[in-house]
Amino acid sequence: MKKSQIALQLFTLREFIKTPADIAETLKKVKKIGYDAVQVSGMGPIEEAELVKILDGEGLVCCATHENAAKIVNETDWVIERLQKLKCKYTAYPFPHEIPTSTAECLALAAKLEAAAKKMAAAGQVLTYHNHDIEFMKFDGRTMLDIFYSAAPTMQAELDTFWVQHGGASPLSWVSRFRGRLPLLHLKEFGIADRKISMLPIGCGNIEWSAVLPAAEKGDTKWFIVEQDLCQIDPFESVKISLDYLVSNFVK
């Protein structure tokens, strides 16, 4: 991968981006750490024009966003307009706003996602789906994620490596399976700290990045997005450790 393809999911720093002043200060730190792109999420209120001005000023690209799940399916035009203002092509449906309890309910949600994905595609944008572990529940022998992706062919993937593994599946298997349909990959480390499953800086856990990342590259993944929902040390130090590991071991 190229260093310019590594992004930071700002949800990791959500406690530091609550006001426009916070956002400006934090993005300056993110650039100083060495990131060249960010995914916008977990941010307090700020006008898109002001955010773009800050990003441009720091030389940061908005590679993708996470938007409110209900808005994506119910107010797709609003999402399209927001992405246009941010000069951004990709967003992700972050968590089911209606958690299915059957195959029929999975198909109903998939139909809404497919409609939104088609509308966004017509505007030159891409809707992806961000998984957690619940999508690996099975209905009639199929995982929720299987049903979603089969029934919504226009929708693409934003696989989250930690949650794939937490759901009992193989990150490598899923990354390989979605070759050509995985523009965004959340790099989230799965490891053990104090005998508990934990999210750790990249390279400090047990995911086989030496297999996962080349598979994603072969599958034409566009953005490799570092995320750590919970940090055991200072979040800025955590994301620096992650970036340094990736640059040292995988950047060409």
What digits encode the pLDDT tens for the residues 129-144? 999 999 999 999 999 9
What H or E segment, with its residue span, contains residue 197? Answer: strand 196-200
Q: Which residues pair with 190 in a beta bridge?
A: 199
Q: Return the bridge partners of 159, or none.
A: 185
4-30: average pLDDT: 98
Between the alpha carbon of residue 234 and those of residues 15, 104, 165, 240, the distances in Å are 11, 44, 25, 10
Q: For all residues of the chain together, what is the average pLDDT? A: 98
User: pLDDT, tens digit, for every residue of 38-63?
Assistant: 999 999 999 999 999 999 999 999 99
What integer pLDDT is reported at residue 158 of this predicted model? 98
**E strand or H helix that includes residue 90:** strand 90-93
Using one digit for the tens of pLDDT, what is the confidence trace for 157-170? Answer: 999 999 999 999 99
d(CA 30, CA 183) in angstroms, rounded, equals 22
